[in-house]
Amino acid sequence: MLLGLSKIIDCPGASVPFSTSLDLRDLRYGNCCPVTEPVNAEGVVRNTAGVLVMSGMVTTCIHGVCDRCASDFTRQMEIPIDVVLVTELADEENEDEWVFPLEGDSADLEDIVRTVFVLNMDSKLLCSEDCKGLCCRCGTNLNNGPCNCQKELDPRFAALKQLLKK
Ligand SMILES: [Zn+2]
Ligand SMILES: [Zn+2]
């Protein structure tokens, strides 16, 4: 979907609102495609002193399997959009993923929203930022409370204790 910007390209202070919805069900993370719901984006493109700045928010709800604790989870995602649109990409040295070229005098909304979304998705798919994961010894999901392993004394410490007694 193209967002026409001809009205604001030469008009500092002017702005154009946008709102779109994408289908990113084909995005794969490991063995799952967690983006099962529509990805909504809305915001505004503003000509700020001659620079086209796009700002807004991408929201969706992902349904995945946690990389750390292996449980199914549903997580609300809110990703800010803050990118600059340029008529021509400058030489490669200045290339930045947050700068997008215009298609003529339009912005390719789908491409921009998809890129922002993908770059912001955690490389690891977690049920929450501070997921405690599984105990490497007994496999208990530590989000549900500690397991019994931690209470057991490490055999090396046990040996040390024996030595100290002497
Ligand atoms: Zn988890
Ligand atoms: Zn354990």
Closest CA to 99 of 58, 40, 51, 41: 51
Measured in Å, residue 144 CA sits from the centre of ligand 2 at 12
Q: What is the pLDDT of residue 91?
A: 60
pLDDT of 163 higher than 80: no
Query: What is the band of 161 on the pLDDT scale with cuts at 50, 70, 90?
Result: low
Residue with tokens 């609102």: 17
Distance between Cα 19 and ligand 1 center (Å): 32
Report phi then psi at 113, rounded to 5: -65, -40
Q: How far is the CA of 125 from the centre of ligand 1 (A)?
A: 8
Residue 44 Cα, ligand 1 centroid: separation in angstroms? 35
DSSP lists the bridge partners of residue 32 as: 29
Ion ligand 1: residues, CB within 5 A, are: 66, 68-69, 127, 131
Instruction: Return the ligand number nearest the Cα of 144.
Output: 1
Tell me how far the alpha carbon of residue 59 lies from the centroid of ligand 2, in angstroms: 36
Residue 41 Cα to ligand 1 midpoint, Å, equals: 27
The percent of residues in the chain predicted with pLDDT above 90, rounded, is: 63
Residues near 135 by beta carbon (within 8 Å), at least 6 away in sequence: 142, 147, 149
CB 101 within 8 A of CB 88: yes
Ligand nearest to the backbone CA of 152: 2
pLDDT score of 83: 94
pLDDT of 7 > 70? The answer is: yes
Pick the ligand that lies closest to the CA of residue 65. 1
- Summarised one tens digit per residue, pLDDT across range 121-152 is 866 788 988 999 999 999 999 999 999 886 65
- Report pLDDT digits (tens) over 72-112: 999 999 999 999 999 876 666 555 668 899 999 999 999 99
Which of 65-74, 96-105, 157-166 is most confident? 65-74
pLDDT value of residue 69: 94
**Nearest residue to 61 (alpha-carbon basis) of 83, 80, 34, 91:** 34
Q: CA gyration radius for the chain?
A: 24
Look over the chain and give the mean of its residue pLDDT values, rounded to a whole number: 87
Nearest to 52 by CA among 78, 80, 81, 79: 81
**pLDDT > 70: percent of the chain:** 83
Write the burial class of residue 18 (CB in 10 Å: 0-12 exposed, 13-18 middle, 19+ buried). buried
